[in-house]
Amino acid sequence: MDGNEERLLGEAGLVHYDSAIGTLKRAVAIDPKLPIVYYGLALCYQQKLDYHNAIAMCKQATDIDPKFTLAYAAWADILEAIGDDDGASVKRFKALEISPHLDEHSEAEINGFLERHEPIP
């Protein structure tokens, strides 16, 4: 793959994340109390390297649900990406404190949410 193809694929990915961000923002407008939506926004912003907004969305998710382990884990990853290893350790410890079996809990948490909610228009 040449540099031009990589650039085009990268741009396509960013368009995909922009579309997802738009959809998730509509979900927030419908129900601003769903932490998983803010978590989804955090992941999209993280992929776009917009760490400021990614952190803000993790904070919003954990303000709504202080036991939302996925948001703490994502927050730790984001802090680690920007070189804040101490902050990342604090958030990772918080996630593991809430759910020592984070991977198992995360999957169950997402599946439970998806079963309880209708698709976003």
Report the pLDDT value the prediction gives residue 9, as an integer from 0 to 100: 44
Residue 6 predicted with pLDDT over 80: no
Annotated domain spans of the chain: 3-116
Residue 93 pLDDT level (bands cut at 50, 70, 90): confident
Residue 24 phi/psi, 5-degree rounding, is -65, -35
Residue 98 pLDDT level (bands cut at 50, 70, 90): confident
Task: Check if the beta carbon of residue 92 is closer than 8 Å to that of residue 78.
Answer: no
Residue 56 predicted with pLDDT over 70: yes
> What pTM value is reported for the model?
0.74
Q: Which CATH superfamily is domain 3-116 in?
A: Tetratricopeptide repeat domain (1.25.40.10)
Across 4-19, average pLDDT: 60
Report the pLDDT value the prediction gives residue 112, as an integer from 0 to 100: 57
